[in-house]
């Protein structure tokens, strides 16, 4: 997962992008207030859950045929509005998706986590 744009609430142009996904899978963007297990992550499915604390489901967004997904998608408000973030807060983001071909034999996987500290 990568972030583009600014973490500024005023600018409101933060975008999250995931690539390398199985094509046409639907996944869930979610956010939390802390890094899971102090930043070490918690095993789940074929990956690690990096997000912890107060967790918020943001949106189910499908991957395209080229294996990418972006948030916010068409018709969605800026990310800070989707999660109720205010200036000065830090949020951890991650994407959870179906992955039947993963290395651990589970049917789900997670992207890397992304930490964003909001500014004005």
Write the pLDDT tens digit of every residue in 16-54: 999 999 888 999 999 999 999 999 999 999 999 999 999
Q: Which residues contact 25 (CB under 8 A, 6 or more apart)?
A: 62, 63, 97, 98, 99
d(CA 5, CA 15): 6
Query: Backbone phi, then psi, for 60, in 5-degree steps?
Result: -85, 125
List the domain boundaries for the chain: 2-117
Write the pLDDT tens digit of every residue in 56-108: 999 999 999 999 999 998 889 999 999 999 999 999 999 999 988 777 778 89
Instruction: Name the architecture of domain 2-117.
Output: Sandwich (2.60)
């Amino acid at each position: 997962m990568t972030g583009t744009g600014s973490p500024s609430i005023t600018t409101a142009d933060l975008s999250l992008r995931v690539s390398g996904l199985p094509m046409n899978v639907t996944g869930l963007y979610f956010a939390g207030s802390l890094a899971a297990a102090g930043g070490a992550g918690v095993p789940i499915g074929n990956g690690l859950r990096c997000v912890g604390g107060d967790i918020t489901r943001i949106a189910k967004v499908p991957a395209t045929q080229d294996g990418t997904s972006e948030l916010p998608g068409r018709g969605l408000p800026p990310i800070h509005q989707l999660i109720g973030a205010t200036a000065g807060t830090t949020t951890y983001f991650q994407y959870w998706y179906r992955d039947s071909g993963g290395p651990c034999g589970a049917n789900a996987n997670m992207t890397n986590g992304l930490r964003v500290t909001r500014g004005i």
